[in-house]
Structure formats: C-alpha cells, structure tokens
Structure 1
C-alpha cells in the first residue's frame, strides 16, 4: 500500500505506517485520499456451516489476523433441525444464533454479500464496492432456493395451509398447516433439481402422518408424496426400508411428478408428469409442503470457477479447484458427486484442512474424500433410519448394527446430540465426521 503523505502531516507518518493493512480500507491524510485494497492470506466466502468451520480451522493453522470470512447475514441457522420445527417438535428460535457469536474470534468478518469473484486476479468484489484480494480462497457459498420458479410462489405462502421447511420464513407455516389440518389431501413435494438434504422432503411426510395419528385425524387424511425422482430414495438398502414404511402406513408415493404451480387461494397444486411432458394434474390440498427448486450460487455460476452446470468445479478427492490451485471449495456449492448434507460438509472440512496444509507447504495433497454423507431419515417422533453412504452409493455405516432399521436411539442422536455437536464441535472446526469412530466400532475393518 502506497501512502502519500501531505507535507504538513509528517508527524503522522510512523502512526500510519504501523496500521494493519488487513483492516485498512482507506487512509485519509491531510487533503490526500488513497483507497487501499483489503488483502488476506485466506479469504472464506460464506458464513454457513462450511465457511464458519473452515474459518475456525484456518485461524488455528495460520492465525486469526490472516483470515477473513465474507457473510452478510446477522443470523446463522442450524438448518437440519427445521424438519423438527415444521412438525412442532422443536422451536424455530432454537435453530438460530447470531453470526457474531459463531464467527471465530479474531477473524475478520466482512459483513457484505459477494458480488463477483475474479480468480485470474485473485480478487473478490462485495456489493458495497469493496475489493478484497487473497492469496488463497475457500468458497462455501451454499446453494440458492428458487421458490419463484414455481408459478404462484413465493406469494402463495401468504395464504394458510402451505409451508416449507427449507426457509426460516416458512418453516413455522408448515407446523401451522399441520395443526389446522381437518380432512383432505396432505401433499409433500420433491423438485426436479438437486436439493440439499434430499431426505427432508419425505421426513416431514412421516412426521405429519405420525402427528395425524396422534391427534385422531389420520382416517380423514390422504397423504401423498409427489417426487420428481424415479425412486423413493437413491440408496437401495434404505429405499427398501422406506417402501415398507410407506406401505404399512398407507402413504401414497407418486414418482416422476414435478410441482409447477401453486394456486394458494384455491388450495390447488399443479403437477407435471415428467415421463409425459405437457401432461399435468391438479390436486386439491388441505396441507401442502413445498420443497423449492434449488441451484448453484449465482455468483459462482457467473465466474470462471464454475463447471458447465454452474457449480464450483473441484477435484472430488482433494476439494481443490481443478483450474485454480489457490482456490478450494466445500459444501453445497461444489460439484462433488455426493448428497448435499451437513454431515458431508463436516467430513469435507477435515479433508480440506489437510489439503490446504499440504498446499501451503508446496506438497501434494495426500488425503482423499470418499464422498461420505449422511441422512438421518426421521420416520416418526421417536424413530430414525440413519442412512450413511459414499460416492459409489454404498452404505458406509458408523455403527455395528443394521442402520436401515428404525431406531429410537438414532432419533435422540438426531434431535439432541447432533445440534450440540454442531454448535460446540463442528463450527469450531473440531468435528470432521464420524470416520475415526467408524473404525473403532467396526474394529478397524471399515
């Protein structure tokens, strides 16, 4: 940074030059004004689970003063608990904490939105015009929800009987719709796009079924799950168990059905048959849970960092960018061929830390991410099927028993242990998934 000193301000020279460049956005001396770029050794984009946990890990690796996290939101949410909020088992308030309280201490929090990434000049521009430069970049921008791609939304949420567990604004509407249910169709949807936590759209169906049974309304309800997918769940072992539950509880599953319109004033949902394009079906609902279409972060999509579909183009083993070696990615924004879940982010954070530590020493990354991800499929207010699998869609289970069975123990782990682990372990960069425990439980054989 070049600071031009006004002739009358020589006395300020020593004081000014000792200012820390990382915190220097502009310096005004006498009549002269010089803008200075903020530079960081490690710049993290996004203050979700991936960004905060990597911020904490990088702070320990290279010192807090060398790390900055760019995140505009004042609140940070533990989103996996929203399934239980939508079913009345947890409160929305319990899912959130202030971003200030989870930001690693001493790390610079840039409270802005990322507007543009230019990896060729190693710079990032934020929406207030600030330019940040970096030596290394970690992209953790998550994915975007697109309610607006369904005709009639998001304005349809102003009407009753419709909710969505995918946003803090609409999750309590799901619980309200469930409580006010009298008789008719309860409809649950899965969109024709990649989504985060692919089990969540059906978890709320199982919980709603359990709630209606508990309150004596189940006989007056027709419960249906309309999914764009050709399967109920992508991993056969767990899908088989889920089909058993569906049959036993008389739930109707309609495959290859995609929600294209909501007429909230008339309580009608319009579905397109993906196997017969152009063929649509209108279903009246008494309760509707919408899973929105989702897609890559628009900032990544519009940058040289994206693959053809708009996702961050990273090496699936090391999480290092395929074309820019000083760029890394984690979580839902990447094109890693595994399910987008919080558990996947935790496992990735441990691998990415190892990759970066090698790159900083000019060594070749030596640990490989196996695609581990987990989806605790909540099937009632006291049971969970814990699906865990890898890149190949092969079960990669932590416990030495069959996890495709509904278990009460797994429910307590999901509802009580995991949130605690998230706030006190994962966000602090201290939890990298259950890999070491799996080895222990399986006597080193997995």
Structure 2
C-alpha cells in the first residue's frame, strides 16, 4: 500500500503473523503511538508491535472547540495507519485479556501475542450507559456532549439555535479525561449567549465541592463563573435524562445525605461518567479500581518489572490530558529501554498536565500543574489571567504539536514550578 506522499505505508493485519515481539504496546492512541515512535527513534532495530483496533485517530482536545463553532470536526480525524512508525507492526485487533506472568496478551480473534516488554496505553472508558436515558436522547432533544465526535457538532447547533431559557452543563465524578473540558464549553456558550444578548439561566452541576481541583486556579475560575452569572451546583451528580420531557435528574449529596432532584432544561451538555477500560478491570495489571498500577514517577508496573503504563488508563494521580501523555511518553521510553538493559530507571514523571481553559471565545486561562497541585506554568507570567495569545496556542499550535508528537517530535518543554501572589488578579474572560 502507498501513502499519499508515495512512501510505503506500514502494513496491518487482522491477526498477528508473529506471536512474539520485543516490545508490545496495547493501545494505539496518543500515548501508545508516541511511545512507539520514541522507541523506534532511539533503537531503530527494536521489534515493536502495536495492538489497536481503530482505523481512525482523533484529536479529541479540539472537540470542545467544535462544540463552540470554532473548529471543523473533520480536521480532528486522521488515519491511524499514517502514525504507525515504519517498521512497527500494527495488529488491528482488540486486546481481551492479560497474562503478565506468561508475558502474553490475548486478542479478540482467539490468538495471542507474547512479549519481552509490555506498554499498556488503553485510555479511559466512557460509561454513557450509567446515566439512565442518556443514550436514547443524546444528539437530539437539546441533549449533547463534546465527548463524542458525532455529537460535538450538535453542541454547536444547540448553542447557535438557543433562544434563551435554561442551559445545564454537567461534570461527573473524577477521574475523567481533560477535567477542564466540562467548563470550557460552559464558558464559551456563556460568551456566545452574552454576545447575542440572550437571557440564559446557566448552571454547572458537579459532584465535587469546588469548581476545579487545583485551588490556585479554582479561585480565578470562581470569578469567571460569577462574571457570567452562572450558578454552580456542587454535590450534584447527573443520574438520568428524559429528553422528550426536557428533564434532568441529579443525586444531590450534602453533609453525607443524598436526595434526588429534577431540573428542566432547554439545552443540556453532558459529560459521561468514566472508568478504567473493561479489559483491565480485574486483570493482574489493575489496582482495586481497575487502573493499571504503576509507580507514579517511573511509570513501571508495581508488580511486573517488564510492564509499563501511561496515559489515561493508569492510577497516577495526575490530570488525564494529552499534555500529561507528552510528559509521560519519554519517561516510559527511556525507562523501558533501561529495564531491558538491566540498568537503573532514571527518568521521572513529575505529574505535569496542562489544561487550556477557554474562558470565552478568544481567551484562554492556561492552567499547568504537577503532582500535589504544584503550579508549573511554561511562561513566567500569571497563568490565571485569560489571554488571547493562548487562544492561538489552543486552536493553531497545539493541534500541530499533537500530530507531530505522535511521530516522536515532542516540541519544547518549558514548564517549571513558579510562585505568584496569592491574591487573584483581575479576571476578564
């Protein structure tokens, strides 16, 4: 097969023709593909295979912009094959089981693959079914979500056609991928409504007790919420949706007591509950909650020395973002090669993640932080101030950086622990 540029494309098989690989990577999303590319760059002769069933690769961070009418959803999709590094075997199957004591992964066609080293990068599972009635009404009746490529454009349709009334935005219990995404569309919708002079009764529902998990940024976001007149609803967890009646049902937990509450809506944006992939739950690789159990700094498995994990599927206590993957991938690549050589693992992941919070259509608060909420911005200016330059970063630079990351080009990394005055600066979303 030939790619558009005339270069031979890597081949894929529906089942593996070879049953052993030096390195086996389960998951060909952002994390798995980036690690494969980094390993091939460092050791071109290394025998690597990637297990990934999907033919399309999606740049999911842009779906929030799609929902706000600021990005074309088709520009977020590219063929998976175009990012599988030359010389890496693409096994286009689904993993259904792990046998780490036997160095084996079982596939959905009944075959299995053995390995010398294993990288688990399976992402996170979206549990739409856990909200009663949601799947039946998603994408119609004013109910949408930016967590799916097929419904993100409907979010924009709902915002564009909104004529006033009640607009509800929900966030499930953590962990979720891109913890700031539920708020990003909230603020951009508020900005769109404000520009049109609409009378919008907007509420943000979250099971948590604060608007954001890092207090340094949460205090600034409280000002953003107040500036738009948005009502925060803490301790609220969406459990059911009736699209035809335009009713949303929440479990409300206050002081340890839970009651049930209904709320009508004209527009409802839902973020689904999320959990570890089903194939990991109960596997020898998982902790009690189903996540791959790894050392939070070296990213090596806590029990199996030839297994590494990264991305959304692990139990590292960091925000699950593409920026975290970008910081984790070189750590996994370096430590995996060290482990294969019998050397000490020297690379360390500091918990870095980045969340470009779109506080309006045109401005972004660039939240960057590491483990324990340490503020680690890339630039020595107050990151709580929404800036137009960061909008360009989010819309133009980061998508390009992402596609290059998959090929092993990580770009500059300037994040560092910095201190700023405790007082929140003036906020203009």
Q: TM-score, normalised by structure 1?
A: 0.88
Q: CA deviation at 1:160?
A: 2.7
Residues 35 and 333 in structure 2, CA contact (< 8 A), matched pair in contact too: yes
Q: TM-score, normalised by structure 2?
A: 0.91
Residues 354 and 367 in structure 2, CA contact (< 8 A), matched pair in contact too: yes
Q: CA deviation at 1:55?
A: 1.1
| Structure 2 counterparts to residues 21-40 of structure 1, below 5 A | 38-40=19-21
Q: CA deviation at 1:185?
A: 0.6
Counterpart of 2:280 in structure 1 is 300
How many residues in Structure 1 have an aligned counterpart in Structure 2?
A: 407
1:97 aligns with 2:117: no
Residues 64 and 105 in structure 1, CA contact (< 8 A), matched pair in contact too: no
Residues 343 and 433 in structure 1, CA contact (< 8 A), matched pair in contact too: no
1:268 aligns with 2:244: no
Worse-superposed segment, 321-330 or 185-194? 185-194
Q: CA deviation at 1:357?
A: 2.2
Residues 268 and 285 in structure 1, CA contact (< 8 A), matched pair in contact too: yes
**Residues 335 and 212 from structure 1, CA distance in 2 versus in 1: closer, same or farther, beyond 3 angstroms?**
same
Given candidates 272, 293, 303, the residue that maps to 1:323 is 303
The one-character-per-residue Cα deviations of 1:374-422 (angstroms, maximum 9, x if unpaired) are 1111101111111111111110111010011111111111111000111
Counterpart of 1:313 in structure 2 is 293
Measured in 2, the distance between the counterparts of 1:257 and 1:73 equals: 35
Q: CA deviation at 1:224?
A: 0.7
Measured in 1, the distance between the counterparts of 2:415 and 2:130 equals: 41
Q: CA deviation at 1:432?
A: 6.8
Measured in 1, the distance between the counterparts of 2:189 and 2:139 equals: 21
The structure with more radius of gyration: 1
Counterpart of 1:49 in structure 2 is 30
Unmatched tracts of structure 1, length 5 or more: 1-21, 27-35
Given candidates 348, 357, 371, the residue that maps to 2:328 is 348
Measured in 1, the distance between the counterparts of 2:260 and 2:165 equals: 20
Residues 15 and 92 in structure 2, CA contact (< 8 A), matched pair in contact too: no
Measured in 1, the distance between the counterparts of 2:409 and 2:100 equals: 29
The one-character-per-residue Cα deviations of 1:6-60 (angstroms, maximum 9, x if unpaired) are xxxxxxxxxxxxxxxx99979xxxxxxxxx7611000000111001101111222
Secondary structure class of the residue paired with 1:374: strand
Given candidates 214, 220, 243, the residue that maps to 1:235 is 214
Measured in 2, the distance between the counterparts of 1:440 and 1:241 equals: 19
Counterpart of 1:139 in structure 2 is 120
Secondary structure class of the residue paired with 2:371: coil
Q: CA deviation at 1:284?
A: 0.8
**Residues 156 and 439 from structure 1, CA distance in 2 versus in 1: closer, same or farther, beyond 3 angstroms?**
closer
Q: CA deviation at 1:63?
A: 2.9
1:76 aligns with 2:64: no
Residues 376 and 385 in structure 1, CA contact (< 8 A), matched pair in contact too: yes
Residues 56 and 79 in structure 2, CA contact (< 8 A), matched pair in contact too: yes
1:376 aligns with 2:371: no
Secondary structure class of the residue paired with 1:350: helix
Secondary structure class of the residue paired with 2:244: coil
1:187 aligns with 2:173: no
Counterpart of 2:423 in structure 1 is none
1:287 aligns with 2:267: yes
Measured in 2, the distance between the counterparts of 1:147 and 1:421 equals: 30
Unmatched tracts of structure 2, length 5 or more: 1-11, 420-429
Residues 190 and 227 in structure 1, CA contact (< 8 A), matched pair in contact too: yes
Which is helix-richer, 1 or 2?
1
